[in-house]
Structures are given as C-alpha cells and as structure tokens.
Chain A
Amino acid sequence: EIVLTQSPATLSLSPGERATLSCRASQSVRSYLAWYQHKPGQAPRLLIYDASNRAPGIPARFSGSGSGTDFTLTISSLEPEDFAVYYCQQRSGWPPLTFGGGTKVEIK
C-alpha cells in the first residue's frame, strides 16, 4: 500500500499570504495524485487531479505541481474561505486508494 505523508500538519497563515502544502508518497505515484479541501460539516471538494489539473470551478489561486513522490499544493493568496483541511490522494497503487493525513490551514 502506498503511504502518503503530508506536511506540515498545521499551517498558520493570514489572509492574503501564500500557502505551500507538501505531500510525499512512499513510492512513485507518477502524476496520479489529487488534492481535496475539507471543511467541518461539509462534503470534501476535489481541487486538483493528476497532480496539476484544476477541477471544474476551482479558482486559479489553487495550483498543484510535482510528480513521482513529491507533490505541492499552492494557494497563491489565501481567501477567508480557504481555511480548511487539505488532503492528498493517490490512485497509482490501486487498489486501494489512499489519502494523506491532512494539513490544516488555520488563521494566524
């Protein structure tokens, strides 16, 4: 099973700042990685798929990069609604699908 490790666990930033989230895979997942945003009491939302493709309706301030074992989600300028938990997910090692442990982006 491919293990995804996200860092940091918590990111404390102010609105307008840039957020950089990391996801590292235990073995290569090629570009088969997605990012999700999850707010308490809400359904998770797909942000990025295949490492760098924004899902429909996702603002341009969200971008993904990386391949192989190291991936990054960047939020160029944090909006108030961006404070949430973010998860990466891989499909290369299917089955199973696996998720990272999450990074919480909180207001500083």
Chain B
Amino acid sequence: QVQLVESGGGVVQPGGSLRLSCAASGFSFSSYGMHWVRQAPGKGLEWVAFIRYDETSKYYADSVKGRVTISRDNSKNMLYVQINSLRVEDTAVYYCAKDTVSASGIAYYLDFWGQGTLVTVSS
C-alpha cells in the first residue's frame, strides 16, 4: 500500500532554515509528480510546491517562492523541501502528497498524503 512518511519538523527561530523529508513506498515513486502542502494552525490547506516525476520542472506558491526548494531522489524514493529565511507565518503542518497522474509534467490532484510534520517558527 502507498505510504508517505514525513520527517524533519521542529522548532526553528525566525530566519532559520529547515529541510523536511518524505519517505515514499508502495508505488513507483519515480513515475509520479509530488507535492508539498501545508496547514497553518486553525487555517485551511495551502499548496506549497510541486516537482515533476523526473525533476525537470518545479513550481512554487508565490508565498514561498525564493525561500523554498523542492527536490527528490528517485533512487532512494525520497522527497525533500528546503525552507530558508523562515518566518512566523511558515508555522504549519507540512504534508507531502502524491499526484494522481503518472509521467505528467503538470499537477492534477493529490491521491495519497502523509500524516504531516509540524514546523514551528518561534523565537
């Protein structure tokens, strides 16, 4: 069965950096685009970033563009997101999620999600 397990969250000071990881299993990871989505406390879901299955294209939400880098290692079935210059408003649960369509360069829908990892930005 498909499993996505995020890790790397924690408490970070404003201006700091963090790299989140997502371990994928149960599907052909290298064939699917992958997303990061976040949920701030008491708020709704916010799409953060998408990476094409072959890593040739990456897309970011305007709210994080220039501070966030999504990457993947298809040999290890791992997805990553590096967040720099962290702000208080980046405090959220970060989810990795699998796109529904294989071998596609654009995003469709998110059919499997992890349980999320909490990032708290506070001094």
Contacts and interface: CB of A to CB of B under 8 A. Distances in A.
B6 to A, nearest CB: 10
A59 interface: no
Contacts of A42: 115
Contacts of B109: 34, 46, 49, 89, 91
B78 interface: no
Contacts of A87: 44-45
A96 B45 contact: no
Contacts of A89: 45, 47, 109-110
Given A43-B95, A89-B109, A95 B44 contact: no
B108 A91 contact: yes
B107 A95 contact: yes
A7 interface: no
Interface in A31-86: 34, 36, 38, 41-46, 49, 55, 85
Nearest to B93: A41
Interface string B81-115: 00000000000000101001000001111111111
B110 to A, nearest CB: 6
Given A43-B113, A49-B100, A97 B107 contact: yes
A38 B37 CA distance: 13
Given A89-B109, A95-B59, A99-B44, A43 B50 contact: no
Interface of B: 4, 35, 37, 44-47, 50, 59, 61-62, 95, 97, 100, 106-116
Interface of A: 1, 34, 36, 38, 41-46, 49, 55, 85, 87, 89, 91, 94-102
25 contacts: A34-B110, A36-B110, A38-B45, A42-B115, A43-B4, A43-B95, A43-B113, A43-B116, A44-B97, A45-B113, A46-B109, A46-B111, A49-B100, A49-B109, A89-B45, A89-B110, A91-B107, A95-B50, A95-B59, A95-B107, A96-B47, A96-B59, A96-B62, A97-B47, A97-B107
